[in-house]
Amino acid sequence: MTNSDFPGSELTSVLAEPVSVSWQSPSNIALVKYWGKTWRQLPVNPSLSMTLSKAFTETRLTALPRITEGSVELDFWFEGKQNTAFGERIIKFLQSVTDIFPWLSQVALKLETHNTFPHSAGIASSASAFSALALCLCSLDMELNGVLLDETEFRQKASYVARLGSGSACRSLFPGFTVWGKSKALAGSSDLLAVLVSEIHPVFTKLKDTILIVTDKEKPVSSSEGHSRMIGHPFAEARIKQATRNTADLLEAMKTGNKNDFIRIVENEAFTLHALMMTSDNGFMLMHPETVRIISRIQEIRKETGLDICFTLDAGPNVHLLYFEDQIEQVNKLIVEDLLKNNEQNMRIDDFYGKGPVKIG
């Protein structure tokens, strides 16, 4: 499958008046991590994530009449302010999808977007941002060109397009759990777009993710830079094998409701991601002393109390504490009285298993 599997068409007549569409799209947290890519955002290993609920981006995309055709023309607004720095990344992305949406050179665009969560909170804002934008592009395509797709085709196309903007974004198009990257353990899985995992034991459909904010400062090394450090990494081959096995084992644990295996695999993935960063050429570390303190406490408390809690980490220092519906009260007490007790930020975001994007206009 290539861009030409999603053929687009030009507008047959000049756009007479503005057309707008709006989508709300969530972020997601990877349980098996995508780390390392080739070519146009193709993953070197399969990944599995949970779509979040409260952390989302709202995006409104407007196509406006334009007199002369040419390269992409974008007026970009983030959180109510014009933003040229991020706007440039979006323009590059839009230029890369003009074969799918040829009308992008025939209209002027206004993009207005905002997040429901603070920047640098350990939540992948590029996942929600690019999935929302991909959905808006696919919806505008339908409005402007009368392209008709059924719900499944629409989500697949949006996932494919979102991937070209930010790899992890392609997993935000679906509710609950999603796999991106070819895995023998899941029929239909692909490197080009994400697919929904439908066989999930009910204990996991109410999974909670409280993000414990260690710092809200900008991280010193970006994800893109991190992915590139996997090229020629001494452990690359072993990592691909490990992620492939972890994806298969996690799918099995989630199908059967095996919480112990879930906890073991999720923590193994978080540790591996950060170990890969530290052992790459020009090694770097995104964990802070406070990250290490909190994750060590989570492991100790699990041993001491038998609570089914575990952690994962994104490419940053903040800790995602994962737990189940039946232990909310005990875990909440634990967060307040122990995990965040002497923490300077004392900030948390209580998120949970999400139902996927919503069209809001």
Give the residues lining the site for ligand PMV (CB under 6 A). 30, 33-35, 47, 124, 126, 166-168, 223, 227, 273, 314-315
Backbone angles phi and psi of 303, in degrees to 5: -65, -45
- Look at the block and give the residue holding tokens 């408390």: 301
Which residues have CB under 8 Å from 312's CB, separation 6+? 29, 30, 31, 266, 267, 269, 270, 320, 322
Give the pair of three-digit tokens for residue 285.
């570390």
Nearer to ligand PMV, 8 or 165 (CB): 165
Distance (Å, rounded) from C-alpha 113 to C-alpha 89?
A: 14
Nearest residue to 90 (alpha-carbon basis) of 136, 54, 140 = 136
Distance (Å, rounded) from C-alpha 315 to C-alpha 287?
A: 9
Distance (Å, rounded) from C-alpha 213 to C-alpha 37?
A: 28
Nearer to ligand PMV, 157 or 163 (CB): 163
Nearer to ligand PMV, 49 or 139 (CB): 49
199: number of Cβ within 10 Å: 11
Q: Are strands 108-115 and 73-78 parallel, antiparallel or unpaired?
A: parallel
The answer to whether the beta carbons of residues 108 and 73 sit under 8 Å apart is yes
Nearer to ligand PMV, 61 or 162 (CB): 162
85: number of Cβ within 10 Å: 8
Q: How far is the CB of 112 from ligand PMV (least distance, A)?
A: 22
Q: How far is the CB of 223 from ligand PMV (least distance, A)?
A: 4
Nearer to ligand PMV, 100 or 194 (CB): 194
Q: How far is the CB of 34 from ligand PMV (least distance, A)?
A: 3
Nearer to ligand PMV, 320 or 348 (CB): 320
Nearest residue to 282 (alpha-carbon basis) of 336, 340, 338, 220 = 220
Q: How far is the CB of 17 from ligand PMV (least distance, A)?
A: 36
Q: How far is the CB of 11 from ligand PMV (least distance, A)?
A: 32
Q: How far is the CB of 220 from ligand PMV (least distance, A)?
A: 15
Nearer to ligand PMV, 30 or 147 (CB): 30
Distance (Å, rounded) from C-alpha 162 to C-alpha 156?
A: 10
Q: How far is the CB of 224 from ligand PMV (least distance, A)?
A: 6
Nearer to ligand PMV, 126 or 156 (CB): 126
Distance (Å, rounded) from C-alpha 361 to C-alpha 358?
A: 9
Q: How far is the CB of 130 from ligand PMV (least distance, A)?
A: 8
Distance (Å, rounded) from C-alpha 182 to C-alpha 233?
A: 21
Chain centroid to CA 5: how far? 24
